[in-house]
Structure 1
Amino acid sequence: MTWETIAAQKRQALKASIPAEWVIPSDILPPDSQLNVTNFLKESGWFTKRELEITSTPAPQLLVNIATSSWTSEEVTRAFCKAAAAAHQLTNCLSEILFDKAIARARELDKYLETTGRTKGPFHGLPISIKDNFNIIGHDSTVGFTSLVNDPATYNSTLIDLLLDAGAVLYVKTNVPTAMMIAESVNNVFGRTVNPRNRNLTSGGSSGGESALIAFGASRLGVGTDIGGSLRIPAACTGIYTIRPSAGRFPNFQTRSGLAGQEAVNSVNGPMASTLPEIILWAKTIVSQQPWIRDPKCLPIPWRTVTPKRRLKIAVLWHDGTVAPTPPVSRALKETVAKLRGAGHEIVDWETTWHDRLLSILSRMFVADGGKSVANLLEPTGEPFRPEMKAYADAEEMGVHAMWQLQLERNGVCKSYLDQWNESGIDAILCPTTPYSGVENGKFAYVGYTGVFNVLDYPAVSFPCGMYADKTIDGAYDGNEPLSEIDSQIRNDFNADNIHGMPVSLQLVGRRLEEESALMMAEVVLQTLQG
């Protein structure tokens, strides 16, 4: 079969796996012209009061309600499955549907609780959504390649086994871009996932299926991955929370990769959710499972209790020297800094001395194999490179010696960055997550604000700062000239009307392997912003 036929059949099979009772009736189906569909659950009249209560309840309380038998896992799972079915029909966010298995699993967990009087584990009965690249036995992990369609996994990723042991219910896998190496979730198998807040805008990538599902209201906790911003970019595009951890804190073993074996900059996984407490719940729970017992690359670091600091010293990265944040992001950063100063936190400016070098290192590492990893996955079906992957199509392979020299360069720059941090005496760096508060589908052009921290391997929390793009005050850049050619392109693409009302996210970066501190500081910042 041609790659087009394989993709069409996979899409049809996915569509057919939605039960008839969860296909949105035509008389309440939002028209394509309705851009914001985040209120569909509440306003369509298609969901019961109980279903709405379940899907709007944060994960910690869901766990309490299930453990105390106020709700059954089955009814909770059914509510999220129905919501996920709706989300997919409106945003194209799913890659695999596991509804039948999820409901059967929920029934087993309910029976276990009824029989033993105990929960199976810390995630007992909680539906959790999973990014496509995590292997689940019997299901595809295509990562956007037609050659990997109908190639079901024969083993679980380590994280999947941990989640099942903890009592979680896995009900969907979510869409990604080809090889998970594009900042928007679009591929030749499933097509494009759009943003439920504005379907003309991207949900980001590579964890864009997750971000769309969560922002729509069809998941409380989801799992994504990040190698250059793939957690933080989609979180920022949709106004939700995430943490990009340092490598080794959360298990990432036996996941599928578009660049398998590339470890010069490590892919990591992390949670995505609508609230910060849900992110913290995830982090504590996963580490409490002692993942280092199963994952040879996980570090044996138990979760540490960190006392909140009443006064932080925060360095502000106003721009990275290559691309200036768009007007809504620039305004939000200024207003956030003013509130932090007003609350007594010390603010200093951060010099961008090493950012261009770090981004250059990252881009060279990604194509060091001459694009062979991607080409080898495209070749079996004759699938072409997508236009977003031109850098991989045009790349020339780097020799072993040259790669070693690149890694030496990386190590030197990482040491210089650490020295700058130590000399400044800061607690954290505050900066944009991306230059955008929102961007039209197909126009996401810059990952510099996230990618540098992948090379450094610093934990970074992306959070909505409570401010929104406003076309009446964010209509134009200030008088500064473009910082670069790509900055000029982004400025030309900027249209305040198209992103009006989109939430603005910022990023708080901490020291390597200090995820507890990064989350604590994010809590402190949010408390300040919320008064």
Structure 2
Amino acid sequence: MSAKWEEVALAKRRAVSANIPADWLIPQLLLPSPAELDVTQFPRKSGWFTPRELDITDSTATAILCKIAGGTWSAEEVTRSFCKRAAAAQQLTNCLSEIFFAEAIESAKILDENFRKTGKVVGPLHGLPISLKDNFNVVGRDSTVGFTSLVGQPATYNSTLVELLEAQGAVRYCKTNVPTAMMIAESVNNVYGRTTNPLNRKLTSGGSSGGESALIAFGGSPLGVGTDIGGSLRIPAACTGIFTLRPSFGRFPTQRCRSGLAGQEAVQSVNGPMSKTLGDIVLFAKTVVDAQPWLQDPKCLPIPWRSVEKKKKKLKLAVLWDDGMVAPTPPVARALRETVEKLNKAGHEILDWNPTLHSQGLDILGRMFVADGGKSVRALLDPTAEPFRPEMSQYENAPERSVHDMWQLHLERSEFQRKYLEQWMSYGGLDAILSPTTPYASVEHGNFKHVGYTGVFNIVDYSAVSFPCGVTADREKDAASLNAAPLSNTCKEVQQDCK
């Protein structure tokens, strides 16, 4: 007999599937076989999408907004096109957690009617479909963050960022899958199952914003919003070859979002955009900041948007070749080398970054996440007798820290931040650190073992961008690097996973 959590999960998955209109179910004859791993070309090669739909969904967010404002495309047809492509993405990668296409189309119709009457857009995002990570509350929709106990508990209010984006003209149409509690570097949970990477469905799309990265990489969203507490924006972006921005805390509103570790503020979670282009990341950031979010979220800093007026022709960049714990796998190491070569040729000053502090930073991060002894996670598992997933074993077995112990950990964190800043300042006018986002280009499901390259920057709360550099894995080119001496036991496992 099925356990209660299994029944709840099955019913929820069926409900999500039922929200895909019959017209947007991929015909059986067109479905890629399980052996077809790269499904990113399905929309263009299948013949299932019209040329107009492809033109719309292959466009950048910035281009879409120009076409809508110019009257070339309507908000409704743009929304319908992305809903159809998102429906395909769900069927091929299991990336969605909530679907509200019909509601989105009605919202788009209202925007079109307003445009016809006034000749003006309602805001800078007028008619743009924007996808949302599962933890963003939307009235009437679940925010399960991967727990069966939160199924059937629809939100009664919207997250502040959701309200802000809608006020600027954005159309919300779906929410995307996450790992349990949003605390795993792969997007898998007991409610919806596992999201796969559309570039290779044997590989992970990352976590915890892996539903977003899969949807965007497939072309089912022009612009999405995720969150990051240890790499949850940057890891999925790196696994799928898209752009993201992890801002420092207080830049974008985080108010009224759901968390798997509610009340944990030793290391702050932040929200950020994900897209295929840097220009669309800038579009999101400027729109949100120009909306003065500090008037709605008291934790946002009242800093207006500022453009760089005098751009430096020569940057000083420090390169983190490895973090002292796990060396990047050969494709990532080659990508870093080739990027550094291009920067050198462009005349920028390149230095080496000493990773001496990184192991301490990752250790602090790990202790903060389990400081409650796993009580937060257990409290959300117990109501439906849902088991801990194997990826969450550190939460199942962690000892609880006392208040005094936690305060000492805060002191350790603050001292670490001071030391990291001191190292930064010792370079004299340093502009940025260039680093791998993860040791992997991506990795087979269940094998993601190290978040050291991202987690340290959550501890120091530095803004960070993950970006593609045009390098893809090549077994022949990378074979020579496979026998490098490992930096640790974890490093040895990571390198073996890539052979």
Q: Shorter-chain TM-score: what band?
A: over 0.9
1:3 aligned partner: 5
Residue of structure 2 in register with 1:512 after alignment: none
Structure 2 counterparts to residues 34-183 of structure 1, below 5 A? 34-183=36-185
1:468 is aligned to: 472
Which residue in the other structure is 1:515 paired with? none
**Amino acid paired to 1:51:** E
Q: Structure 1, residues 396-429: CA drift from partner, whole Å, max 9, x if none? A: 1101111010010110111111011111021100
For residues 339 and 19 of structure 2, what CA distance do their matches in structure 1 show? 45
Alpha-carbon offset, residue 479 of structure 1? 5.0
Tell me how far 1:117 sits from its aligned partner. 1.6
1:372 to 370, 375, 380: 375
Which one-letter code corresponds to 1:67 in the other structure? A
- Counterpart AA for 2:144: T
Deviation at 1:485, TM superposition (A): 1.2
Distance, in Å, in 2 between the alignment partners of 1:201 and 1:221 is 22
SS in 1 for 2:471: strand
- CA deviation string 1:412-470 (max 9, x = no partner): 11111101111102110001000001211111110000000000100110000111110
Letter in 1 for 2:300: C
Q: 1:316 aligns with which of 287, 306, 319?
A: 319
Please state if 1:486 is matched with 2:496.
no
Q: Equivalences for 1:89-488 in 2 at 5 Å?
A: 89-306=91-308, 307-425=310-428, 426-477=430-481, 480-488=484-492
Q: Per-residue CA shift, 1:113-158, capped at 9, x if unaligned?
A: 1112211111111000000000000000000000000100000000
Other structure's SS at 2:98 match: strand
Distance 2:320 2:38 in 1: 32
State the 1:68 CA deviation: 1.6
How far residue 273 of structure 1 moved from its aligned partner, in angstroms, is 0.2
**2 CA distance for matches of 1:68 and 1:171?**
23
Q: 2: distance between equivalents of 1:80 and 1:321?
A: 43
Determine the C-alpha separation between the residues in 2 that align with 1:477 and 1:446: 19
**TM (normalized to structure 1)?**
0.92
Equivalent residue for 1:527? none
**Structure 2 counterpart of 1:238, one-letter code:** T
Indicate which of 21, 24, 27 corresponds to 1:22.
Answer: 24
Instruction: Tell me which amino acid in the other structure corresponds to 1:362.
Output: L
CA distance 1:284–1:341, shift in 2 (3 Å): same
Say what the alpha-carbon RMSD is for the aligned residues: 0.8
- Give the number of equivalent residue pairs: 495
Match of 1:528 in 2: none
Question: Which letter does structure 2 place at the counterpart of 1:193?
Answer: T
Percent identity reads 65
Cα deviation 1:471-494 (Å, max 9, x = unaligned): 111125365421111111111111
Q: Which secondary structure does the structure 1 equivalent of 2:142 belong to?
A: coil
Taking the aligned partners of 1:453 and 1:442, their CA distance within structure 2 comes to 24
When normalised by structure 2's length, the TM-score is 0.98
**In structure 1, the residue corresponding to 2:157 is in which secondary structure?**
coil
Rounded to whole Å, the distance in 1 between the matches of 2:349 and 2:271 is: 32
Structure 2 unaligned residues grouped into runs of 5+: none
Give the drift of 1:335: 1.2
| SS of residue paired to 1:199 | strand
Report Cα offsets for 1:178-204 as digits up to 9, x if no partner: 000000000000000000000000000
Give the residue type in structure 2 aligned to 1:433.
Answer: T
Contact 2:244 2:275 in 1 (8 A): yes
For the residue of structure 1 that corresponds to 2:469, the secondary structure is: strand
Structure-2 separation of matches of 1:489 and 1:467 = 23
1: CA distance, partners of 2:154 / 2:481 = 49
Which amino acid letter does the alignment assign opposite residue 132 of structure 2?
I
**Structure 2 CA distance, aligned partners of 1:269 and 1:300?**
17
Query: d(CA) in 1 for partners of 2:311 and 2:283?
Result: 17
SS of equivalent residue, structure 1 residue 27: helix
**Could you tell me how far apart the structure 2 residues matched to 1:431 and 1:476 are?**
21
